[in-house]
Structure 1
């Protein structure tokens, strides 16, 4: 029997690295009630060759240790719930008693009954049920101590001996997710391990502490995975959430790090910023659990705080999403050493080992709390789903915005929302939804509360400050045709939403194919045809054409593909168009003649042949990694468009590129010479697309004269204690605005006259009344905010401001958007504006 403290090895590592631990080695952290440790279970050091806290564990080493423990312990079952964009496996461990493992599926099925059939679960049955606890670590790859703690915690769960651990594993199933972001962790671990000498250096100026752009916080595409729990658009999220929902835990924790000068945070967060869709009982349980964290941290002499800084409002975070799923979500934030040692003013020398110790302490306190509150937690989960369901429903239309509606429906289904086929025509909001051409999402269902939280528009708040965005209304974000109805219409079979609706109407064309631009993946169809060598024209005006013996109206933005193209045979052209319809879900119409009954004929000189873009995206210091990643992911991952990532600090010749995208950022590394070369390239025919901060920089740099609208400074003499809150209330942290666009402009093809857009930050362009056509889109002059918080002063500043601006510069074009059209991968509704700029940027 191996007799040592579960964290003694961590503290010894700190000593070996030359650090002075905050807890004396004579009284190391020990799990109360542990008699010792089973010698047959390998320690991290035995498997990895070093002691936890001695270096940063790489992703493959994490998996190696979990595999070793699972092979040795009857308490541990290993599993994999997906892969990352870079192909790394997402590992988890299920830890419980051997007796529970023998009936694990029975336990899981009974646990699911709490949400699926809560009325059928009695108090006596709850009394006999294990509590399910999900514990997740280091979703931000460079907040690394969580994963290290998870490995020590796994060892403790697998090897500890004594009555407490026996009781805990008999009464709980622990879902241990030790590494939520392997790609980001790999990026970070390579940096800190690679820039460390024989001794860790505490100097914050040391290169080990100064991780470069884009740093390891994010995943491969530079996304913050911890903002994707509700949309689940990212690969890592989809794998994790599919597994999470197979269990539906009662407690779900999320271990993070924060600034080095802080102490330790655990929830509850700021009470005034709680999401009103979360029942008060959830917050009461959070508070009850918090007492166990306080006791454990008090015992080891660690300062902490709660009910400050962080909130429970946005449901896309790992600590808040559980709250709308009948669970209790808990955020932990540990002051970060980043490297092995760090000098701080507040904490003295902060060591990696001590940060691991604190994460481990709250892992243990979470399990202890879950056991003590087991029946209360299980009852809360049952009662959450047993509450009277709301009435009414949402109808998701599958007409012109079909693919966007299906994307929205898929996002809901990943949170196990049920939807059904519409079986009767419904008129709502001035529109008629036809039977068979819409989904019905009733609010009277298991996930009705989540449906409401995802779909509702909110304009009234109890607080004016937000840790994250204040609005994420899915119908507006996805650009879907959605109506709320007070009575549930007649429904048919339950639907599993998939992309469909692509078709070729009229068979093989004799003259040409017309492909309307409104479907979401139409740009991918265009790229597919161009890569096949087809010439594609853009209809810049409406026209009427004969297809299959009948006339049909086509709008601006329709793609025209000639059936005979040189050496490419009509059969080959037809095969490419058929493939686009199948894979990109577009509609293509075979046209019988190039002579149109009305509008331009198909060979019109006003309808240009589109040039396939060659895209460069500035990516490096001075740019926002989030903004760059959103554009990169959209173009490369979703639309298959090749993108060259170029470091702005080493701006090369832009010759050969058609398009340069400036995502959000400051671009302070660009020199005056760089700017002049960029201008010359635009005058020669290049297209610059500036987004958010990139748009503001381009305007200031003189690429397009766009004065910003300023607001007078707030001269109110606030009391010192109220100053920060008053100023913060005038920020725009993330709201949904009403953009009024000119639908005749190529940048707005495929849209109507109004587009909901996501915007953060109050900088806007003053409208241009002198140059007709430059302001393609302005915020509504009366009510610019559709959903989300904005103060009266901010609303006034937004009203009528220019937001989408485009003009010529020599032979080139400059396109500016003061908002983020590809926000967090789930703003399908405005992706098309960026794609229009990429593919139609030279056509106006």
Structure 2
């Protein structure tokens, strides 16, 4: 694996052809102009030879993309290795290609071992590391098509692979001599399949460039998301989707030095590449930012030579760690986003009248891919050295930090603690499980607590995932406040609060010392630890303590198995002395006379993670007896989710995923317009996800009346986010939305004059020009402390305080006690912010405003979440509250059964 010092291809290329010739070639949208002047091995499998059409002339389907890479592997078996890393929800193949010289591919296992050694300075000496840095090839991961309707990146993946293998160009061959190129050609095959099939259904005899055409306006849901309608470019810290989980496993195998996520954006733009916009996450180092500049400058040289417009730094920041282009940074790579203006079809007429073609996007992404490969090849040794230094300095930084370890206490939520620990391990971090009880951080911890040594190479990733607060720079925040004062939009691109312990509502303590205890390193493990059935031959029945997802999964599994389950609205103490919290499950032999009940429950305990306790008596020392009115039967609940326009597709997908994949319970999607007149009596629960513009367009007055009648007859209507705002406007939910609070009272005497006043300073001027009828200011996304009313069955098993999310600008007035209850509400203004950046006006106004309201309606009820408890499917700490709304809600409704 030889080391090469390369002259910039862009400079060589520009010297061979004049700038005017390059610009003319770049404007030629024929597929022969992808790389002006290139020649290719005639025996190599081009896209046209394999698929029957020239590159960039048709939007390739997922199946054909897979077929093409198979053809490359067959043609170049010594230079191409295809690795499958899973399959999509709809069963499509997920794979990446490794392309390099025959020598590098033959020594792939040695490369893997070398990068694993370089990644752990605790096991590798400086001398050994230097030998690896001198000998290992560079590596770059190119990820294409995470959004299925961003169509040019996967096509560029085929062109990049073809060019690397077939180009008659010694410089390209030199790249492969010292660089491994990882190509994931299609991260989202389900979304792309949805887009391709629908696009060609709309095409006529000639492709339209008109942005009003059906070709350029996708039906609901768009191809952007995967089967469960997730934006997978937000999933890298939660790892809920197989398409992202598999990539993470691959990255932790090879630790590529550079990672590029290739996207598309609005068709009137140009091309965006690194360096990213402010703010940068503080755990990204100066050396990494310099590496991003290296990439950007070489990309710019290529784009200048080709006559392509581009921009950098203005948008797409590097703060939120959950992007594909962010997550690898915290393991020591350099990672970045590329964005190309999208034709969203074969051609698109821009605002200036120019026609943008699909082939334009393919070419620019291809050129950017090659420029990035060139930079990694040229900077191979520096990037390897900096990767080693990043991992080494992380350990040193941790050893000198006050945050020497973390302890995850499983006492309050065993399921959440285990899932959090397992998720950290899945992200390449080391977690141990204590094999004894111990005292640390001023607290006592039980056996089975999880301990994290901060002094590990992934220390900075641990910090950005576990720290309650990661701050944006003071300069950036000052600029955002200045922009707001001048009625300009802020530049906060995504959520500013994401700490996993807060999302999971799990207790994690920071310790200044590493506990000296007997512990066992946690290996890759399932997110659910097996449960157990105790006293299986019980004479009376079985009890399950409510309050975590182990018990939640047991409930849904039991209902699906036809087992009759009761739940207690109040806590009780069994005669054995065991204390059972509100919501605890009761399964009696009298209700379930089948002989195989114990064996069924044992199977369900193992799969759900729950501990089921057999009991011989129903006697309790305090609290309700099992025959009390405070003990209710949970019906086999049929759940419907509003689907299609005007529902926000991401919201619908998150809801369905959480119920089906986390709760393990089936749902039925019903198109919103059908809710207006359909007989809904089959369903106990209907969920309205967040919407775009409310449900009035789909439901109208008839739909509102149909839903009201269904609720009055015993249905449970659950509204999420702005669907709760629509419920207010529709007259279903008896509260109000608030305008922004302002002290500026405008006293007009008529339409032209107002009372005279003195403005004495700039702050008074800013107050004067405020909009007195404005909505609260938009919040990109924060985590808020939320207090919970413990005296209601909706809060059974829920802690007195939970962490909830807040995105947007809807603030609800508390519901009057005559109409219902405010079950969960935001904390005092001084305490409300748990994580992120919240404007001061919103902080003041959100205090004591409802997050969850319950409103009885004759035999049924309306349960309104003012935010989405299923947001991005990572708000695990709200799952029990959401389960209570569904299953306890159905248990407390009074329809004629």
Partner residue, 1:8: none
SS of residue in 1 equivalent to 2:634 = coil
1:497-536 equivalences under 5 Å are 497-498=525-526, 499-500=528-529, 502-536=531-565
SS of residue in 2 equivalent to 1:819 = coil
* Alignment deviations for residues 109-151 of structure 1 (CA, whole Å, 9 cap, x no partner): 1122221236444445423321011001010000010000101
Residue 447 of structure 2 corresponds to residue 447 of structure 1: no
* Alignment deviations for residues 9-55 of structure 1 (CA, whole Å, 9 cap, x no partner): xxxxxxxxxxx996137996465895x32222110010101112222
For structure 1, which segment, 124-133 or 507-516, has the greater mean C-alpha deviation from structure 2 after superposition? 124-133
Q: Classify 1:288/1:729 alpha carbon distance in 2 versus 1 (closer, same or farther; 3 Å).
A: farther
Aligned to 2:212, which of 205, 210, 220? Answer: 205
Partner residue, 1:764: 811
Q: CA deviation at 1:425?
A: 3.8
Residue 414 of structure 2 corresponds to residue 409 of structure 1: no
SS of residue in 2 equivalent to 1:521 = helix
Partner residue, 2:200: 193
Q: CA deviation at 1:351?
A: 0.5
Residue 72 of structure 2 corresponds to residue 69 of structure 1: yes
Q: CA deviation at 1:772?
A: 8.4
* Alignment deviations for residues 540-573 of structure 1 (CA, whole Å, 9 cap, x no partner): 1222223xxx32121210111111336x33x322
Partner residue, 1:39: 42
What CA distance in whole angstroms lies between the structure 2 residues aligned with 1:113 and 1:481?
A: 33
Does the aligned pair in 2 maintain the 1:184–1:219 contact within 8 Å?
Answer: yes
Residue 320 of structure 2 corresponds to residue 291 of structure 1: no
Partner residue, 1:390: 398
For structure 1, which segment, 397-406 or 276-285, has the greater mean C-alpha deviation from structure 2 after superposition? 397-406
SS of residue in 2 equivalent to 1:337 = coil
Q: CA deviation at 1:494?
A: 0.6
RMSD: 2.4
Aligned to 2:319, which of 313, 329, 349? Answer: 313
Partner residue, 1:369: 375
Q: CA deviation at 1:58?
A: 0.3
Partner residue, 2:496: 470
Does the aligned pair in 2 maintain the 1:423–1:490 contact within 8 Å?
Answer: no
Does the aligned pair in 1 maintain the 2:640–2:670 contact within 8 Å?
Answer: yes
Residue 125 of structure 2 corresponds to residue 92 of structure 1: no
What CA distance in whole angstroms lies between the structure 2 residues aligned with 1:130 and 1:41?
A: 25
Aligned length: 813
Partner residue, 1:267: 274
Does the aligned pair in 2 maintain the 1:513–1:590 contact within 8 Å?
Answer: yes
Does the aligned pair in 2 maintain the 1:821–1:830 contact within 8 Å?
Answer: yes
Residue 349 of structure 2 corresponds to residue 350 of structure 1: no
Does the aligned pair in 1 maintain the 2:540–2:617 contact within 8 Å?
Answer: yes
Partner residue, 1:12: none
Gapped regions of structure 2 (runs ≥ 5) = 1-23, 478-490, 745-762, 893-897
Q: CA deviation at 1:500?
A: 2.2
What CA distance in whole angstroms lies between the structure 2 residues aligned with 1:147 and 1:299?
A: 24
What CA distance in whole angstroms lies between the structure 2 residues aligned with 1:660 and 1:793?
A: 35
SS of residue in 2 equivalent to 1:631 = helix
Does the aligned pair in 2 maintain the 1:729–1:791 contact within 8 Å?
Answer: no
- TM-score of the pair, normalised by structure 1: 0.93
Q: CA deviation at 1:471?
A: 1.1
Does the aligned pair in 2 maintain the 1:389–1:443 contact within 8 Å?
Answer: no
Q: CA deviation at 1:479?
A: 2.1
Aligned to 1:637, which of 654, 661, 665? Answer: 661
SS of residue in 2 equivalent to 1:411 = helix
Aligned to 1:279, which of 278, 285, 290? Answer: 285
Q: CA deviation at 1:449?
A: 1.0
What CA distance in whole angstroms lies between the structure 2 residues aligned with 1:119 and 1:705?
A: 67
Partner residue, 2:877: 829
* Alignment deviations for residues 745-800 of structure 1 (CA, whole Å, 9 cap, x no partner): 22211211000111211212112454486100110013111011101111111111
Partner residue, 1:11: none
Does the aligned pair in 1 maintain the 2:282–2:472 contact within 8 Å?
Answer: no
Q: Classify 1:813/1:770 alpha carbon distance in 2 versus 1 (closer, same or farther; 3 Å).
A: closer
What CA distance in whole angstroms lies between the structure 2 residues aligned with 1:298 and 1:718?
A: 46
What CA distance in whole angstroms lies between the structure 1 residues aligned with 2:607 and 2:436?
A: 30
Q: CA deviation at 1:530?
A: 2.4
Residue 705 of structure 2 corresponds to residue 697 of structure 1: no
What CA distance in whole angstroms lies between the structure 2 residues aligned with 1:431 and 1:529?
A: 37
Aligned to 2:802, which of 748, 755, 762? Answer: 755
Residue 165 of structure 2 corresponds to residue 158 of structure 1: yes
Q: Classify 1:632/1:520 alpha carbon distance in 2 versus 1 (closer, same or farther; 3 Å).
A: same
For structure 1, which segment, 198-207 or 592-601, has the greater mean C-alpha deviation from structure 2 after superposition? 592-601
Partner residue, 1:9: none
Residue 593 of structure 2 corresponds to residue 545 of structure 1: no
Q: Classify 1:84/1:557 alpha carbon distance in 2 versus 1 (closer, same or farther; 3 Å).
A: same
Does the aligned pair in 2 maintain the 1:422–1:489 contact within 8 Å?
Answer: no
What CA distance in whole angstroms lies between the structure 2 residues aligned with 1:328 and 1:703?
A: 51
SS of residue in 1 equivalent to 2:229 = coil
Q: CA deviation at 1:637?
A: 2.2
Does the aligned pair in 1 maintain the 2:740–2:775 contact within 8 Å?
Answer: no
SS of residue in 1 equivalent to 2:245 = helix
What CA distance in whole angstroms lies between the structure 2 residues aligned with 1:815 and 1:235?
A: 32
Gapped regions of structure 1 (runs ≥ 5) = 1-19
SS of residue in 2 equivalent to 1:338 = coil
SS of residue in 2 equivalent to 1:824 = helix
Q: Classify 1:423/1:643 alpha carbon distance in 2 versus 1 (closer, same or farther; 3 Å).
A: closer
Q: Classify 1:309/1:403 alpha carbon distance in 2 versus 1 (closer, same or farther; 3 Å).
A: same
What CA distance in whole angstroms lies between the structure 1 residues aligned with 2:616 and 2:723?
A: 46
Partner residue, 2:338: 332
* Alignment deviations for residues 158-182 of structure 1 (CA, whole Å, 9 cap, x no partner): 1112220121000100001000000
Partner residue, 1:147: 154
Q: Classify 1:27/1:595 alpha carbon distance in 2 versus 1 (closer, same or farther; 3 Å).
A: closer
Aligned to 2:55, which of 52, 56, 62? Answer: 52
SS of residue in 1 equivalent to 2:690 = coil
What CA distance in whole angstroms lies between the structure 1 residues aligned with 2:720 and 2:134?
A: 55
Q: CA deviation at 1:837?
A: 0.6
What CA distance in whole angstroms lies between the structure 2 residues aligned with 1:705 and 1:657?
A: 24
Q: CA deviation at 1:506?
A: 2.5
Does the aligned pair in 2 maintain the 1:764–1:803 contact within 8 Å?
Answer: no
